[in-house]
Amino acid sequence: MTTRASAVEARQLTKTYPGDVTALNGMDVTVEQGTVFGLLGPNGAGKSTTVKILTTLARPDSGTATVAGHDVLRHPDRVRRAIGVVAQSSGADPVATGRENLQLQGRLHGLRGTALNGRVDELLERFKLADAARRPVKGYSGGMRRRLDVALGLVHRPEVLFLDEPTTGLDPEARAAMWDEIARLAGDEGLTILLTTHYLEEADRLAERVAIVDRGRVVVEGTPESLKGELRGDAVHMELREAVGDAGRTLLRGALGSLPGVHEVLCDGRRISVRADDGAATIPVLLGSLERAGVGVASATIARPSLDDVYLRYTGRRYSEAEAEGTGVLALAGGAR
């Protein structure tokens, strides 16, 4: 198998914000050229801080990083010429038209005359904005603004495109349309794309490789299919009628973990998650064991392995819980992610 050259390399990045809030704690990232790489993690996990460092908008406390072969600390100007960035907040001027925004961006990158006008027309058509090109951006829908943001990041034909939470705030239809466009960009133009997201489905659908980020570091990396494939059998999730304490959780883990075909028992409050070789056959056995232990079950579900299950396996907590925790971290760090 041929190994592609790296477009992005980050090693042992650390970053602490005022208030002793650790955003990055030894972050390692390698992105091969021509691939879509997903940084997946809850809010506050360190994804956006990583992007800020890689795009020269922030300096790490320690560690090294190169983008398109250029060191982000020693040659930030070269990095900026080689990248396109779509931040979480729109960078478009709301008073200017879509065409004016694209023309300004092109001029900032040295485009002029027919080359500039041709590129602007091409992007307006590609992102289905031609009919709205002469309208002020403030009148655009959320999906139209986001498409314009991506077009702005592509005006100068960058080597690496950074998409930081590109579909946050979009309705399901607009999000699906953006997913289709990102997939086309990667396929048609061979761009290297580093995508940060807290949507499990987005990472699963778009990224060739995923790095799951938790508390400022990568806890596991691989293709979505290989990561899910490591989890044998089915995921069984049970909601208990009442929460159990530490002693109860220890007893339940021992009792359920000793059952045939059961792996990786995780207990947290009112919820129990189990890996089972055959979920449908195992549920009655699990319910019987819990009943004998005097533990009532409110509901039980079976599913094939997902990235949520991968996150649970490597962090010991559910993704939704990490999201709630991350909200508190963001507040302490003044919104840094």
pLDDT tens-digit readout, 160-187 = 999 999 998 899 999 999 999 898 888 7
For 7, other C-beta atoms within 10 Å of its C-beta total 24
The count of C-alpha atoms lying within 13 angstroms of the C-alpha of 286, restricted to the half-sphere facing its C-beta, is: 31
Could you tell me which residue, 256 or 185, shows the higher pLDDT?
256
Q: For the chain, what's the residue count?
A: 337
pLDDT of residue 86: 95
Q: What is the DSSP letter of 2?
A: P
Portion of the chain with pLDDT greater than 70, in percent: 96
Average pLDDT of the residues in 140-164: 96
Query: So what's the pLDDT on residue 1?
Result: 47
Distance of CA 120 to the CA centre of its chain: 29
Confidence of residue 93 (pLDDT cuts 50, 70, 90): very high
Instruction: Determine the distance from the C-alpha atom of residue 37 to the mean position of all C-alpha atoms in its chain, rounded to a whole number.
Output: 9
- From CA 158, how far away is CA 81, in angstroms rounded? 7
Mean pLDDT of the chain: 91
Q: Where are the alpha helices (DSSP H) in the chain?
A: 47-54, 76-82, 98-108, 113-126, 142-154, 172-189, 200-206, 224-229, 246-257, 279-292, 307-315, 319-332
What is the C-alpha to C-alpha distance for residues 155 and 169, in angstroms, rounded to an integer? Answer: 24
Q: In a 10 Å sphere around its CB, with 0-12 CB exposed, 13-18 middle and 19+ buried, how is residue 254 labelled? A: exposed
Closest by CA to 163, choosing from 126, 206, 133, is 206
Q: What share of the chain is helix, strand, coil (3-state, %, to 5)?
A: 40, 30, 30
The pLDDT of residue 324? 74
Position of tokens 């979480």?
Answer: 88
| The predicted structure's pLDDT at residue 249 | 86
* Contact call for residues 150 and 98 (beta carbons, < 8 A): no
333-336: long-range pairs with CB below 8 Å, 24+: 333/17, 333/19, 333/21, 333/23, 333/44, 334/17, 334/18, 336/17, 336/21, 336/23, 336/48, 336/49
- Measured torsion, CA atoms of residues 199, 200, 202, 207, in degrees rounded to the nearest 10: 130
Domains and CATH numbers, the chain: 6-228 (3.40.50.300), 232-304 (3.30.70.2470)
How far, in Å, are 40, 121, 195, 226, 234 from residue 203 at the CA level? 7, 30, 8, 13, 21
What pLDDT shows up at residue 2? Answer: 53
The per-residue pLDDT for 84 is 96
Mean pLDDT of 89-94: 93
As a whole number, mean pLDDT of residues 181-210 equals 90
Tell if the pTM clears 0.75, that is, is over it. Answer: yes
> What confidence tier does 247 reach under pLDDT thresholds 50, 70, 90?
confident
Mean pLDDT calculated for residue range 195-213: 94
